[in-house]
Amino acid sequence: MKSDQELFLRTPVKKAVLRMAIPTVISSLVLVIYNMADTFFVGQTNDACQVAAVSLTNAVFVMYMAVANLIGIGGSAVISILLGQKEEKRAKEASAFCFYSALAVGLVAAVAILLGMDPLLRILGSTPDTWEFSRDYLFYIAVGAPFILLANAFGHVVRGEGAASASMLGGMIGTVANIILDPIFILTLDMGTAGAAIATVLGNVFGCVYYIYYLTRKSPLLSMHPRYLASCGRIARRVVSIGIPAGINSALMSISTVLLNNALVPYGDTAVAAMGIVTKVYMFIVFVHMGITNGIQPLLGYCHGAGAAKRFGSILRFSGALTVVCGTLLSGFYIAFAPGVVRVFIDDAQVIEYGAAMLVATSLAGPVLGLLFLTINSLQAMDRPVPATLLSLFRQGVFFIPLLFVLGRLFGLNGINFTQTTADYLAIVIALFLLVRALRQQRAVLAAQEA
């Protein structure tokens, strides 16, 4: 525990934040590249229908991420809090629960999707031109559900003990495998969307193998041994309650993606393909923000568990400034070079025209979006799941879904393009209000304890 105390409590704030955030940002970007690889290599077929099919079925992958985030981010937060309280056995119980629950949910998801494939494709917005492509992709993504959930959940869980580098390595192994396999299956073997899905699943299988190796041979404080499941009931409830905000945020992103794609169907498959590319590209900014804020969450959780409020505040301020700087640089690049960014994925004039306008509109919230994720992760680290959950509901549910219909009805395609940015700014205002209130309450509690 000495090394953990050194990192969590005594390492200078900037150094501690960067040590945790940089590997986590890399891990997050690895996941984005992982997800973008399918779209990129399918786009090399110059078939907008295949690109649209991957975009339509991406909602299922995002739903997987919702469950992985619920289990993984919830587990990471609980583990870091428990380690701050010197509860090492209970930290092992939390990691074992995360391992087996990810596998179990993955198996249930696989069976449910395979049994309900055709109705699900209709809900996702598949058209006659995209149906077979979508079905091919979804079949293999369903089969690989247990591996996808386990690999992505443990990308978060291992950071709970400060192992940001292990998280990064596990993600990179899967991504490198996917990038190598994608052109082989999609282009060389001419398997199209099915090949993209197979490459994605195999990449996650390799990631799972690494995390199992890490848990059994390398981890000093985590375990996947079944014996720790016997008394993990209370830990399980805590993991789920803290992880719900992250899960809800991703789940609502999946639902929003389905509704967004359905709203775009009247504008044609090219509009759906364009938004699919923009969504993947914009995730680069989103995941930089999430990488920074997820990376520092164990630091915040440990500080909260140890009662180190001053250090908690210093980490929060530096991380907030870091997200604004990174978000501003990336958003500026996207806005300045929007057509070229879309052209990287597909050489189709109409898709590029649609996509450039969509990317500019979506990127306008990029500079400050990190403050929303920072607030959600800070509230989770302070063991305040209710306000964190409300924030997740506001962004993609309370704001995005109604705005999609209202702005689309009033301003057509242009209104649809600005829906996410409008929802983001409204959610950020509420986030800052909730964060300030939570910090005041935290200081009041610590002052009462000291008195």
Residue with the bigger pLDDT between 336 and 231: it is 336
What DSSP element (H or E) covers 193?
A: helix 192-213
Burial class from Cβ neighbours inside 10 Å (0-12, 13-18, 19+) for residue 131 reads middle
Please state, in angstroms and rounded to a whole number, the distance separating the CA atoms of residues 199 and 189.
12
How does pLDDT run across 12-36, given as a tens digit for each residue? 778 888 887 787 787 777 767 766 6
Confidence of residue 3 (pLDDT cuts 50, 70, 90): very low
Please state, in angstroms and rounded to a whole number, the distance separating the CA atoms of residues 20 and 11.
11
How does pLDDT run across 339-349, given as a tens digit for each residue? 999 988 878 88
Classify residue 451: in a domain, yes or no. no
pLDDT at 335: 94
Which one-letter DSSP state was computed for residue 221? S
Confidence of residue 1 (pLDDT cuts 50, 70, 90): very low
Q: For 202-206, what is the mean pLDDT?
A: 90
Please state, in angstroms and rounded to a whole number, the distance separating the CA atoms of residues 132 and 126.
9
- pLDDT over 70 (residue 370): yes
- pLDDT over 60 (residue 329): yes
Helix, strand, coil percent values for the chain (each to nearest 5): 90, 0, 10
Residue with the bigger pLDDT between 73 and 340: it is 340
- pLDDT over 70 (residue 355): yes
77, two tokens? 């937060």
- pLDDT over 80 (residue 212): yes
pLDDT at 423: 92
- pLDDT over 60 (residue 450): no
Please state, in angstroms and rounded to a whole number, the distance separating the CA atoms of residues 184 and 255.
32
pLDDT at 366: 92
Classify residue 204: in a domain, yes or no. yes
> Are 334 and 366 spatial neighbours (Cβ–Cβ below 8 Å)?
yes
Please state, in angstroms and rounded to a whole number, the distance separating the CA atoms of residues 366 and 358.
13
pLDDT at 7: 63
Confidence of residue 419 (pLDDT cuts 50, 70, 90): very high
Q: 181 is in which domain, residue-wise?
A: 2-446
Confidence of residue 222 (pLDDT cuts 50, 70, 90): confident
Compute the mean pLDDT over every residue in the chain, rounded to the nearest whole number. 81
- pLDDT over 80 (residue 381): no
Confidence of residue 270 (pLDDT cuts 50, 70, 90): confident
Which residues have C-beta within 8 Å of that of residue 341, sequence separation ≥ 6?
281, 334, 356, 359
> Are 290 and 65 spatial neighbours (Cβ–Cβ below 8 Å)?
no
Please state, in angstroms and rounded to a whole number, the distance separating the CA atoms of residues 380 and 373.
11
> Are 318 and 14 spatial neighbours (Cβ–Cβ below 8 Å)?
yes
Please state, in angstroms and rounded to a whole number, the distance separating the CA atoms of residues 294 and 286.
12
User: What distances in angstroms separate CA 315 from CA 17, 120, 154, 308, 378, one per listed residue?
Assistant: 7, 43, 24, 11, 10
pTM: 0.67
Classify residue 290: in a domain, yes or no. yes
Cα–chain-centroid distance for residue 340?
Answer: 26
Classify residue 188: in a domain, yes or no. yes
Q: For 235-260, what is the mean pLDDT?
A: 75
Task: State how many domains the chain has.
Answer: 1
Please state, in angstroms and rounded to a whole number, the distance separating the CA atoms of residues 223 and 56.
37
| Range of 75-89, 195-209, 243-257 with top mean pLDDT | 195-209
Q: For 261-274, what is the mean pLDDT?
A: 83
How does pLDDT run across 102-134, given as a tens digit for each residue? 889 999 999 998 998 888 888 877 778 778 888
